[in-house]
């Protein structure tokens, strides 16, 4: 999948009305499933998941506010952001004054419609631009939300690429936001693209497409015994805006994925943030009981752009180039995870004679300083079973690629032996 193809997927998913449950999520997963096979899970309302309970399922057919002339002044058919997520059904005639407590606007961004939800409070509301609100007369208005909130299921999906080991890398993205392109259709598109490209990896890769918070909590509740297999994880969100890549560290701050991402991003414009217990589902994966090696990869981070959680986060806010750039960094991270490891130098007393093994320029003084040879010397020097190849790359200032290639050459020459994982 190219940047353009990822962008096309964003555009196709954009109109669907997703929430933390319901048919919008199901339809989204069907479309993703056209690119990579998915295992779809349906978890019944009322299921206890950790400290939470799977809520009722919410679906919506239509919603509007009609003015006295019969015109739909707020219309769900034009944008699903107009309805507060999880609004209970309503059908009433109300004055503007009666309606006001149910209307949400952004006074400082008067042309944008905000995104609001009320998952765990039985209430209802509409979101609209300040300008539209300011133009409304006293009414009366016909107010309709044709929704259902009833026992049903929470839906999430997994795509697993089995590797040679059970050790798992998790790529998680939330699928609960309605018409918001960067947050998180971009994350879904990049995850889908990465999933479609992975072939015969060493590690196992598990992609999660699940609603935010309750989805991650449900997955964790149902996979509590398996989290010990997770060697690295990333929540992927806001993956398509034009800002620089941003990595937010895991709770522990120095896990393998933290170091891998720092190394991968070092060559790109980027920002690295310390962990905070706010943002995306790293909040759940990094809760103290799990404390997993989970970071978050975004471009502009959570709540960091004015269009965040507004109608301004539309497909035009996301660019094919940015999607491709995020994918490229992610693939480089996968490459480090795949190739990293700890090695033992089998000839650790003094330097082994590289020349006689064809690994060294034989005429002293001419080509000694080449990066490939420096990489071999660094790998030999630090391959004491304690340092990983990523350690070598960090300490030497060489690229991981150069270090990994040196290790491969030395391994072929019988000078190295792999003794363990990296990280």
- Positions in 224-243 near its own copies (CB under 8 A): 224
The DSSP H or E segment spanning 339 is: helix 320-339
The rounded distance, in Å, linking the Cα atoms of 165 and 172 is: 20
Q: Which residue stretch of 29-37, 60-68, 183-191, 276-284 sits at the interface with its own copies (rule: CB under 8 A)?
A: 276-284
Binding of its own copies by 172 (CB under 8 A): no
How distant is the alpha carbon of residue 362 from its chain centre? 49
Binding of its own copies by 46 (CB under 8 A): no
Binding of its own copies by 341 (CB under 8 A): no
- To its own copies, the closest distance from the beta carbon of 287 in angstroms equals 5
Tell me if 38 sits within 8 A of 175, measured CB to CB.
Answer: no
Six token digits for residue 305:
């752009």
Binding of its own copies by 419 (CB under 8 A): no
Q: Which residue stretch of 200-208, 236-244, 328-336, 350-358 sits at the interface with its own copies (rule: CB under 8 A)?
A: 350-358
- To its own copies, the closest distance from the beta carbon of 333 in angstroms equals 25
Binding of its own copies by 290 (CB under 8 A): yes
Helix (H, G, I), strand (E, B) or coil at 320: helix
Residue closer to its own copies (CB basis): 51 or 199: 51
- Positions in 70-89 near its own copies (CB under 8 A): 84-85
Give φ, ψ of 309 to 5 degrees: 55, 40
Residue closer to its own copies (CB basis): 162 or 224: 224
The rounded distance, in Å, linking the Cα atoms of 323 and 320 is: 5
Residue closer to its own copies (CB basis): 14 or 290: 290
CB neighbour list of residue 289: distance below 8 Å, 6 or more residues apart: none
Q: What is the DSSP string of 58-116?
A: EEEEEEEEE-TTS-EEEETTT-GGGB-BTPPPEEEEE-HHHHGGGEE--TTSTT--B--
Whether the ω angle into residue 140 lies within 30 degrees of 0, i.e. cis, is yes
Q: Which residue stretch of 128-136, 178-186, 190-198, 358-366 sits at the interface with its own copies (rule: CB under 8 A)?
A: 358-366
Residue closer to its own copies (CB basis): 70 or 358: 358
Binding of its own copies by 114 (CB under 8 A): yes
Tell me if 189 sits within 8 A of 240, measured CB to CB.
Answer: yes
The alpha carbon dihedral of 403, 409, 414, 419 has a sign of positive
Task: Annotate each residue in 1-40 with x if it binds its own copies (CB under 8 A) or - if it does not, as one string.
Answer: ----------------------------------------
Binding of its own copies by 180 (CB under 8 A): no
The footprint of its own copies on this chain (CB under 8 A) covers a number of residues equal to 60
Six token digits for residue 221:
């509740």
The rounded distance, in Å, linking the Cα atoms of 106 and 274 is: 30
Among 27, 52, 103, 372, binds its own copies (CB under 8 A): 52
Q: Catalogue the E-assigned strands of 237-324.
A: 245-248, 270-273, 294-298
Among 251, 299, 339, 342, binds its own copies (CB under 8 A): 251
- To its own copies, the closest distance from the beta carbon of 376 in angstroms equals 9
How far is residue 31 from each of residues 24, 291, 313, measured CA to CA in Å?
A: 11, 33, 21
Task: Annotate each residue in 181-220 with x if it binds its own copies (CB under 8 A) or - if it does not, as one string.
Answer: --------------------------------x--xx--x
Contact residues for its own copies (CB under 8 A)? 50-52, 84-85, 114-121, 123, 213, 216-217, 220-221, 224, 251, 276-278, 283-284, 286-291, 303, 309, 345, 347-353, 355-356, 362-366, 368-369, 374, 377-378, 380-384, 396
């Amino acid at each position: 999948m190219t940047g353009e193809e990822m962008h096309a997927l964003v555009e196709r998913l954009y109109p669907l009305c997703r929430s933390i449950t319901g048919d919008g999520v199901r339809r989204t997963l069907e479309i993703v499933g056209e690119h990579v096979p998915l295992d779809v899970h349906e978890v019944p309302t009322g299921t206890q998941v950790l400290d939470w309970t799977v809520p009722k399922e919410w679906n919506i057919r239509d919603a509007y506010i009609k003015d006295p002339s019969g015109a739909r002044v707020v219309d769900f058919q034009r944008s699903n952001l107009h309805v507060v997520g999880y609004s209970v059904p309503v059908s009433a005639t109300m004055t503007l004054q009666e309606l006001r407590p149910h209307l949400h606007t952004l006074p400082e961004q008067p042309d944008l419609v905000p995104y609001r939800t009320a998952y765990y409070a039985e209430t209802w509301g509409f979101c609209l631009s300040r300008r539209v609100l300011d133009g409304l007369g006293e009414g009366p208005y016909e107010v309709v939300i044709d929704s259902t909130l009833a026992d049903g299921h929470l839906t999430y999906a997994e795509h697993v690429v089995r590797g040679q080991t059970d050790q798992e890398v998790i790529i998680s993205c939330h699928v609960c936001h309605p018409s918001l392109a960067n947050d998180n259709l971009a994350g879904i598109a990049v995850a889908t693209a990465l999933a479609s490209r992975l072939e015969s990896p060493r590690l196992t890769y598990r992609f999660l497409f699940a609603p935010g918070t309750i989805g991650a909590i449900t997955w964790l509740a149902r996979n509590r015994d398996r989290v010990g297999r997770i060697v690295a994880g990333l929540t992927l969100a806001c993956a398509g805006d034009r800002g620089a890549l941003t990595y937010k560290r895991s709770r522990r701050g120095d896990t393998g994925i933290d170091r891998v991402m720092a190394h991968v991003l070092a060559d790109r414009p980027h920002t690295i943030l310390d962990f905070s217990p706010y943002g995306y589902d790293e909040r759940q994966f990094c809760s103290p009981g799990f404390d997993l090696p989970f970071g978050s990869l975004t471009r502009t981070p959570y709540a960091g752009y004015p269009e965040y959680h507004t109608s301004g986060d539309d497909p035009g806010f996301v660019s094919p180039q940015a999607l491709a750039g995020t994918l490229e960094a992610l693939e480089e991270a996968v490459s480090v995870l795949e190739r990293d490891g700890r090695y033992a130098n089998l000839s650790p007393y003094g330097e082994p004679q590289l020349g006689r093994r064809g690994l060294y320029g034989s005429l002293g003084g001419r080509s000694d300083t080449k990066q490939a040879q420096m990489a071999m010397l660094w790998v030999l020097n630090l391959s004491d079973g304690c340092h990983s190849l990523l350690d070598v790359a960090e300490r030497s200032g060489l690229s991981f690629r150069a270090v990994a290639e040196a290790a491969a050459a030395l391994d072929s020459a019988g000078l190295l032996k792999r003794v363990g994982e990296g990280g």
